[in-house]
Amino acid sequence: MTFRVGQGLDVHAFDQARPLVLAGLRIGDSGGLAGHSDGDAVLHAVTDALLGAVGAGDIGEYFPSNDPRWDGASSEVFVNEALSVIDARYGDILNVDVTIIASRPRLSPHRQAMIESLAALLRIPVAQVSVKATTTDHLGFVGREEGLCAMAVVLLEMRG
Ligand code: MG
């Protein structure tokens, strides 16, 4: 039996006018994230972690940010593509651990719902998903509330 680990990291600037979507969950009607798609930095980090675990490139190769098809798209599309890639290589997700680094909003009230959303998207039990949140103690772009950062680590068991 072999195992593969993957990591992903994503940063997005805040865009007050957009809804905030994290881990596929709509957290607020405003205070969202700028950029490509719905700006769901958690799903982008998870997508990169899945791709990274099997050495299959990164999210930007599959979904170029200059491609208008992904403007405002749900980031669930990206996760589903990564799931297809790891499935084609006989990988099963053993666990996913996510850290969100943000000064706002307070994420602890949404933590369980984000775990449940991520578990459903990844089609794995809730017990195999972890979502944590931290701040930077007022330092840097996170401390200045300019944006947020999401990090993800995944472990795969390879059937092949
Ligand atoms: Mg991104």
Dist. CA 131 → ligand 1 center (Å): 17
What's the gap in Å between 15 CA and the centre of ligand 1? 13
Average pLDDT over residues 50-78: 93
CA of 1 to the centre of ligand 1 (A): 33
pLDDT at 63 > cutoff 80:
yes
Strand ranges for 63-117 from DSSP E: 91-101
**C-alpha–C-alpha distance, residues 105 and 31, integer Å:** 8
pLDDT tens per residue, range 24-55: 999 999 999 998 799 999 999 999 999 999 99
- How far apart are the CA of 95 and the centre of ligand 1, in A? 21
Distance 107 CA to ligand 1 centre (A): 19
Angular region, 82: left φ>0, alpha ψ -120 to 50, beta rest: alpha
Pairing of strands 147-158, 129-134: unpaired
pLDDT, residue 13, reads: 98
pTM of the model: 0.97
**CA 23 / ligand 1 centre spacing (Å):** 12
Q: How far is the CA of 55 from the centre of ligand 1 (A)?
A: 19
Say how many Å lie between the CA of residue 126 and the centre of ligand 1.
Answer: 24
Q: How far is it, in rounded angstroms, from Cα 28 to Cα 142?
A: 18
What is the CA(40)–ligand 1 centre distance, in A? Answer: 7
